[in-house]
Amino acid sequence: MCLAQFHHVNSIGHDKMDKDDVEVVEKKTVFKGYVAVDRYRLRHRLHRGGMSDVLDREVVERGHVAAVLPVDFPRDKVVLIEQFRPGAFAAHENPWLVECVAGIIEPNETAEQVARREAWEEAGCRMDVLIPMQRFFTTPGALTENVQLFCGLTDSYGINGVHGVEHEGEDIKVHVVPVDKALNMADHGAIKNAITLIALQWLAIHYHALKNRGP
């Protein structure tokens, strides 16, 4: 079951530009490994009129992501995970980050399927109801990655331990945290992952309405 989002907000302005206002002169894949890097030579329409000069831009093809914040409303708990992140390590930060459950959407999968699968693999959570939170880019200046974020209704009783798919090198510790504590962590810088910050901020706005909505 997947509940509809609460509302829709129109885009700003009436003269909205879109992908048809971009001309690709050349596209070449310059690296392909865990991620792919494409080099674009392109020009685009300008707000002031006319077209830009030809720009050279590298874009990382990361794949699209489904992420879910499991929430136990009767117990006022959320389920978070902690795992090693090489990007944070390379940035000289603590590389063990507290995060939402998340995974890459593979071909022929829906975001909802990935959210449910990853919740079980990474946290041992089962959920019947997924409530769409937001859909957004993480770093659109350089990555194609687009995230579909859900709030997942779950029963947190007995959820604990270390999870993950061994052949994927996953070593994921589960934390069942009171909602107030999770929001405090987000507010005071203990959460460094942008997806998780967005999820917790959304939850702070909608928590009481969702808790009181009934079956």
Query: What gap in Å lies between CA 35 and CA 37, rounded to an integer?
Result: 7
Token pair 């117990």 is at which residue?
Answer: 75
CA dihedral 79, 8, 148, 132 (to 10 degrees): 40
Q: How far is CA 64 from CA 1, 96, 148, 151, 207, in A?
A: 21, 22, 8, 18, 27
Q: Please tell me the number of Cα atoms within 13 Å of 6 on its side-chain side.
A: 12
User: How many Cβ atoms are within 10 Å of 103's Cβ, its own excluded?
Assistant: 22
Q: How far is CA 210 from CA 68, 115, 178, 213, 214, in A?
A: 16, 19, 16, 5, 8
Point out the residues that are catalytic: 168
Alpha helical stretches, state H, 111-150: 111-123
Token pair 């009783």 is at which residue?
Answer: 157
Total residues belonging to the chain: 215
